[in-house]
Structure 1
Amino acid sequence: MKLLDKYILKRYLTTFLFTLLILIPIAVAIDIAEKIDKFLRHENLSLFELVNDYYKNFVIYYANTFMPLALFIAVILFTSRLANNTEIVAINSSQISFTRFLYPYFIGATILATLALFMNHYFVPNSSKTRRGFEKKYLSRVKYEDKTVRDFSLQLNDSTYIFIQNFNLERNSGYNFSTEIYKGIHLKYKLTADNINWNEKDSTYKLYNWKERKVLKNRDSIFTGSSLDTTFTFTPNDLNYKSIVAQEMRSGEIKDFIKISKKRGIKNLNAYYVELYKRSSLPVASYILTLIAVALAHKKKRGGLGVNLALGIAAMFVYVFFMKVGEVLGAVAGADPLINVWIPNIMFGIFAIYLFWNARK
């Protein structure tokens, strides 16, 4: 049986690699065709920089993205070939159960899932940061982008809060700013300003038309002024929350960011939770997709490989559809990101168990 396990595992990994090596060059060719004019527009862009900073990381990102699809198609391809060559009939005749037949498949799925987990949590974020830096430098055109944060509140510590009605992240300036310090439920200090500007060089803020109020035991102390230089324990970067930033952060960094943000009173961090949970859900899908693919392709069908491949691609399309819908819904405020991210795996896991139960019979 060890010989058969090695044979199936070898076919599993080589067919997966072959499928991935077909998909990646297609993606690269399409990307070059779309962006060749933008590359030629920059005379200072060297071939080394193009390959090393962009396409190397492009291949890493899309190889990781296409991994579930390549895995699914690969298992269907070589399992259908085994069935068409009546090799599975010979295996069944040897009194080898369907469960035992799956053993080398799941060894292969474990190898790929482990690789995907490492890439998702550690390697791909750094790669994405380099690739996106290249895109911003050479591929992004000057477009209008709303870089204004509106009606933003932030908890700096257990007793200090800030409120900003409007802050422009490009100009590092805003208006209608206030900070409040509480002792329990009682207000002890409040500072307001009509305008606030961030000085990146000195890491200080300049307040204009400010008003300071200190709540004392029997009276309030109020001071006003036209301008005031001061510091706070936040920067404009703390006001900018985008899921694209999460894609460039390692999982440990996302967890630390979420922990700090919770203390600061940030209400909606679902986009970061979605990115964190997705990095584990996709590798786990390797087992589910492998089981579905084997269950669909292990019997010889009229129409052969084409029928199995069509069924597999249709199933994969449904999985990707639910995966994207789950990511979008999970990022919405008030939603449960864990449930939404894992919905495709839950649904296809039930489907895989159903197919496995029928295949055992």
Structure 2
Amino acid sequence: MKINSIINRYLFKEMIPPFLINMVFFTFLFLMAKILFITNLVVNHNIGLSRVILMLFLFIPYFLVFVIPMSVMMSVLLTFLRFSSDNELTALKTGGISLYGLLPPVIIFCLIGFVLTLTMSVYGMPWGRASIKRLTMEVATSNLELGLRERTFNNNFKDIMLYVSEVDMKKGELKDVFVEDKRSESIVSTVVAPKGILFFEKERLIFRLRLFDGKINQVSMKNKSVNSIGFETYDINLDLKSAFSDIEGKGKIKDEKEMSFPELRDYLSKAENKNSKYFKALVELHQKISIPFACFVLGILAVSLGAQLKSARRSFGLGLGLIFFLFYYLLLSIGYVFKNSEWYPPFIGMWIPNIVTGGIGLFLLVRTASERQVFSMLAGFLKRNATLKE
């Protein structure tokens, strides 16, 4: 019993360094995916360095929901690949310790990953997304010229093309304004005005473009007719499209990704109609538990792969591990695609990846513990790979 406890502590400690390295590496990769978004804010909207760093920090909780299970899998896989290549697993089996006997530290390690991921999923991600929305709205209110460049057709606003000849930043005035409005399916409106102002309504959390002494030309797509209307004052509400496309939801209304676990349950219990928002909320509710549970599923799979690939190169084992993770993520993505479908329940969509991947992991674990190769073709490949290595 004392020997087993020593081995378990040793195995647990061996998984910590690769876990931390993978956490840093994968988090960095996910942050790099936001570089274009951040660059757009810095170049076009004069966002300061402190706000850029704060925004990147607020993205991290969302990334960690996926990074932690991936890091758990890769750390377990790396540890068992090393044990296999150094023949430590063979020595342990000779000493009477089976592969099942090495599972307790792995289960504890996966449990820690589960708790961390669950914390990020239930608390961190809603807080992060809500904070990002608040930050972007602060940026918007402090930059009335958001997305507007002189003598350029600006398409940062949904279904509206905006051209401004001159922007007076001190007075907040726009000169020689041209607007093409396609928000109506049947009517396309073009608005021309010599001057206007752009301001932000904090109460409604929207931008409003107010034009003066201009003219509206309305083209009816159905009747093929044109109407011209003059005005002294004309207001247009602007909906930001590309500037903050990564931030879902509008105004003070929370979307499902900003809701905590209790808020999601409360919304689902009070929902009268099973519309698209209802199914999105239901998907989000199941996702908050199913993705953290992937730490156990991927961890057990990693044990099987690491012990099974004892004659393979480490790079081959890591590549195979990434393939299985992408397979898991593919199944999860399918659940997202059909999240609004009544015939594909969210429970199935969010839990099928764990069921399928977990089934594969348990199958491999049993086969590996009984020292049977999973696929004869794979075994032949590994032997040839080992021969080339020698």
TM-score (norm 2): 0.62
Looking at structure 1, the residues matched to 59 and 22 of structure 2 have their Cα atoms a distance apart, in angstroms, of: 17
Q: 2:41 aligns with which of 38, 41, 55?
A: 38
Q: Which runs of structure 2 are paired with 1:13-92 in the superposition (5 Å)?
A: 13-32=16-35, 35-43=38-46, 45-52=47-54, 54-92=55-93
Looking at structure 2, the residues matched to 26 and 337 of structure 1 have their Cα atoms a distance apart, in angstroms, of: 29
Shift of 1:135: 4.7
Query: Does the aligned pair in 1 maintain the 2:331–2:353 contact within 8 Å?
Result: yes
Looking at structure 2, the residues matched to 60 and 123 of structure 1 have their Cα atoms a distance apart, in angstroms, of: 5
In the alignment, structure 1 residue 281 sits paired with structure 2 residue 294? no
2:8 equivalent in structure 1: 5
Shift of 1:281: 0.5
Deviations 1:56-99 (A, max 9, x none): 11122212222222222222122111111111112111101211
1:248 equivalent in structure 2: 258
Q: 2:346 aligns with which of 293, 313, 337?
A: 337
Q: Which runs of structure 2 are paired with 1:87-126 in the superposition (5 Å)?
A: 87-126=88-127
Give the residue type in structure 2 aligned to 1:283: P
Percent sequence identity over matched residues?
A: 22
TM-score (norm 1): 0.67
**Which deviates the most, 334-343 or 275-284?**
334-343
Looking at structure 2, the residues matched to 355 and 125 of structure 1 have their Cα atoms a distance apart, in angstroms, of: 36
Give the residue type in structure 2 aligned to 1:103: P
Query: Does the aligned pair in 2 maintain the 1:61–1:124 contact within 8 Å?
Result: yes
Query: Does the aligned pair in 1 maintain the 2:61–2:125 contact within 8 Å?
Result: yes
Query: Does the aligned pair in 2 maintain the 1:301–1:307 contact within 8 Å?
Result: no
Looking at structure 1, the residues matched to 359 and 122 of structure 2 have their Cα atoms a distance apart, in angstroms, of: 27
Deviations 1:296-316 (A, max 9, x none): 111454332122112111111
Shift of 1:321: 0.5
Looking at structure 1, the residues matched to 159 and 134 of structure 2 have their Cα atoms a distance apart, in angstroms, of: 17
Looking at structure 2, the residues matched to 257 and 30 of structure 1 have their Cα atoms a distance apart, in angstroms, of: 32
SS of aligned partner of 1:96:
coil
Give the residue type in structure 2 aligned to 1:120: S
2:333 equivalent in structure 1: 324
Shift of 1:37: 4.2
SS of aligned partner of 2:21:
helix
Looking at structure 1, the residues matched to 270 and 20 of structure 2 have their Cα atoms a distance apart, in angstroms, of: 41
SS of aligned partner of 2:264:
helix
Query: Does the aligned pair in 2 maintain the 1:330–1:338 contact within 8 Å?
Result: no
In the alignment, structure 1 residue 261 sits paired with structure 2 residue 263? no
1:351 equivalent in structure 2: 360
1:260–1:314 CA distance, 2 compared to 1 (3 A)? same
Deviations 1:217-271 (A, max 9, x none): xxxxxxxxxxxxxxxxxxxxxx99xx98100110101111112213xx3444111
SS of aligned partner of 2:259:
coil
User: Which runs of 5 or more residues in structure 2 are unaligned?
Assistant: 141-145, 148-154, 161-182, 184-202, 205-248, 371-390
1:300–1:339 CA distance, 2 compared to 1 (3 A)? closer
Looking at structure 2, the residues matched to 33 and 328 of structure 1 have their Cα atoms a distance apart, in angstroms, of: 25
Shift of 1:274: 0.4
1:302–1:346 CA distance, 2 compared to 1 (3 A)? same
Shift of 1:38: 2.6
1:65–1:134 CA distance, 2 compared to 1 (3 A)? farther
2:229 equivalent in structure 1: none
Shift of 1:134: 3.6
Shift of 1:133: 3.8
SS of aligned partner of 2:271:
helix
Looking at structure 2, the residues matched to 87 and 332 of structure 1 have their Cα atoms a distance apart, in angstroms, of: 50
Looking at structure 2, the residues matched to 254 and 355 of structure 1 have their Cα atoms a distance apart, in angstroms, of: 37
1:315–1:82 CA distance, 2 compared to 1 (3 A)? same
Equivalenced residue count is 267
Give the residue type in structure 1 aligned to 2:79: F
1:343–1:127 CA distance, 2 compared to 1 (3 A)? same
